[in-house]
Amino acid sequence: MADMDVFVGRLNPDLCIVTAVADGERAGCLVGFASQCSIRPVRFVVWLSKVNRTYQVARCADFLAVHLLAPQQYGLAALFGGETGDRVDKFARIRWTQEHGGAVVLKDAAAWFVGRIEQRIDGGDHVGFVLDPVQSGGREKSGGRQLLRLADALTIDPGHPID
């Protein structure tokens, strides 16, 4: 297998928070593996770690919500990236609402969409959830740097171990 450290170490993806609801449980986590994956039809994929509680809830969900954060929303990123829903009710600390299909949407996100789960793809230690966007919203863009990126969040210790 090729050593990918040189390549991967240069990436600085936008981060997002993914939320899931199923069987009366809410979950959410900070995600660095996410991208539009089709133009026609529009599709977006988010990759969730199999050790993450959000993955456990998302396995039974019909919809996921994906949220983009502004750089000044480090605290929100730290809550969803540095805490685990196994020990903390993250949603008790934030403003949120229910949207299409019961999806939990973070009211303070810079932008968000709710997507119907069309497919799940096993990628090894992560599973890709291919989403068909059904609803979206957010605030108007402002000047300056637009989104929170991986380099902005390197000091957040994961709520769940990576290995």
Q: Is the pTM of this model over 0.75?
A: yes
Share of the chain above pLDDT 70, in %: 94
**What is the share, in percent, of the chain residues with pLDDT greater than 90?**
69
Write down the pLDDT at residue 101.
96
Q: How far apart are CA 46 and CA 34, in angstroms?
A: 4
On the 0-12 / 13-18 / 19+ scale of CB atoms within 10 A, 109 is buried
Of the candidate CATH numbers 2.30.110.10, 2.130.10.10, 3.20.20.70, 2.30.40.10, the domain formed by 13-138 belongs to: 2.30.110.10
147 exposure class (CB count in 10 Å sphere: 0-12, 13-18, 19+)? middle
Average pLDDT over residues 41-45: 98
pLDDT over 60 at 1, yes or no: no
Q: What is the per-residue pLDDT across 122-157, written as a single tens digit (0 to 9) for each?
A: 999 999 999 999 999 988 776 656 898 888 777 777
